[in-house]
Structure formats: C-alpha cells, structure tokens
Amino acid sequence: MKLHSSKKWYLHLLYYKLLKLSRFFTNNFFGIKNHKFLFILSPPFCGSTLLNQLLSTSKTLSCNNHLGVREGQLLPEVKDIMFYNKGWHEKVNYPWVKIKQIWMKYWDQRKKILLDKTTTNIMRVSEIKETFNNSVFIAMVRNPYAQVEGLIRRTGATVEYAAKFSLMCLQHQRDNKLNNPDILFFTYEDFCDDTLIVIQKIQNVIPEIGILKVDAKFSAHNFKNNSKMKIQNLNSEKIAKLDSSQLKEINEYFSKEIDLLDYFGYSILQHK
C-alpha cells in the first residue's frame, strides 16, 4: 500500500531530523578529518542512483541522502537553494560554503569518503572544486535514447524537451571530460555490462573505497517496478518502449548533433 504524499513527506522529514540528531553525536565524538569528497556526475535517468547504491556498499563511504533518488540537493535545508532555484540554469550562484556545512551534518564523518550525487552538479564542477578540497569525481553517461524514454515516462516531458535536455547533458559531460582529465568517465553500458572492470577503475582512483558488493540486489528506480534487482542493462527494453513517431522526432534533434553522440560512442537509431 502506497503512502499518501503528505504522510510520506512527513515521515521523510522525521527521518532527516533523527538522522541529523544521530550524526551530531557520532560526528562530534568520533568524526575524523581530511575526508575525501566523492561526487557522481551524471544526468538524471542515467543510472546514477544505482551507482550510488553500489558505492554505498563500501564500509568506508557515507552518502548524504539515502532516500528517493539519493541526491544531496533534495535535503530539506538546501532544496529551496538548489532544487527549486533554477537548478538546470548555468548562471546560478550557489552558496557552496553553506551547502557544504549542511551536507556535513548528514554525512557520517566517521567515514573516509563522503558521497554526493546531485545531478545538476554536471554543470558545476569548477565551483565544487573550489569549495571541497580533496574532491574526486566519477562521471557517467547513458545512451541518450534510453534517457529520453525515462524523461518522457517518468516526468511527462514532451519528446522535444526530452531530446534537447539529453543533448544538453551530453554537452556538459563532454565539456567535463575535455576540461577535467582527472575525472573518471565510463558509460552506463560499461557499468552494467562490464561491472567488475568499472569497479576496478573506481578502486584504482579511490583505493580507500575497498570492497564493493557487486552481487547485491539494489532498489534503484526502474520501469519494471521491481523492489530489488541486480545490476542489469535495461537499455534495450527501455528504447523498445519508444514508438516510431517518437523515434522519428528524437532523430530530428539528434541528427543535428551526430558528432556529440559519436564522442561517447552512440549513434542515430533508425525509427521503426
């Protein structure tokens, strides 16, 4: 039985308050210094929640938000600052020092690695680097057709909006890759199809992360509505949900950015 939205909101708020109270004592009495800040740079509907859950199986890592899509921008004290404040607009100046102070109250500071996966951070790498010393970034992209399907189905977006949004995300990720050679990049497809190789790359960049439970089942959102699944590439099934007219309209936008798609190894799909 699903909870009414207002009741769910209240329970989430109560959870956050209790979590902060717990963190207050553990952080003040047992917290360590010199953390490594880990940021997942991923557009929405590209597998970042699943990646977050896998990384969170590490005994040395703490995520700042464990509810829903697990984004730091959705925590109560920063939601108005980040999520509701033109999050996908480039020219928005966030009070990053304040945001960091709030996030520190949610992170378990006994852990060496402190993780955030706010999706809009793909636009704000340089700002984050200025505020968070010892920061590390993992970036991921996904077949844009699969992302478009998720945007349409999950948010009710039009095909035009979803296609343009997906291209915008790829453009930001290409900029991040070109301007930040220290960022670890891989695709959703690599993550799902060659998980052990991707994990090894992550461990090479962040050796402190230790063992990750690759065989665990995760509750990341997926169109099958299964409560828990092992890591699995759902692209084919998602793309198959797009009908011929949707594919044709998507291609009107994607065909103008063939070089951008090709940069990440993607290509134009023929409509049915």
Q: What are the domain boundaries of the chain?
A: 35-263
pLDDT band at 224 (very low <50, low <70, confident <90, very high): low
DSSP, residue by residue, 193-213: HSHHHHHHHHHHH-GGG----
Query: What is the pLDDT at residue 156?
Result: 95
Quick: pLDDT tens for 230-242: 999 999 999 999 9
Reference 266, options 196, 167, 178; nearest CA is 167
Q: CA of 170: how far to CAs of 11, 43, 173, 206, in Å?
A: 36, 8, 5, 25
Q: Write down the architecture of domain 35-263 according to CATH.
A: 3-Layer(aba) Sandwich (3.40)
CB 9 within 8 A of CB 104: no
Amino acid at residue number 24 = F
Quick: pLDDT tens for 181-220: 999 999 999 999 999 999 999 999 999 999 999 999 888 7
Instruction: With a cut of 80, say whether residue 87 has pLDDT above it.
Output: no
Cβ neighbours of residue 76 closer than 8 Å, sequence gap 6 or more: 13, 16
pLDDT band at 1 (very low <50, low <70, confident <90, very high): very low
Query: What is the pLDDT at residue 272?
Result: 60
**Backbone phi and psi for residue 68, each to the nearest 5 degrees, phi listed first:** 55, -125
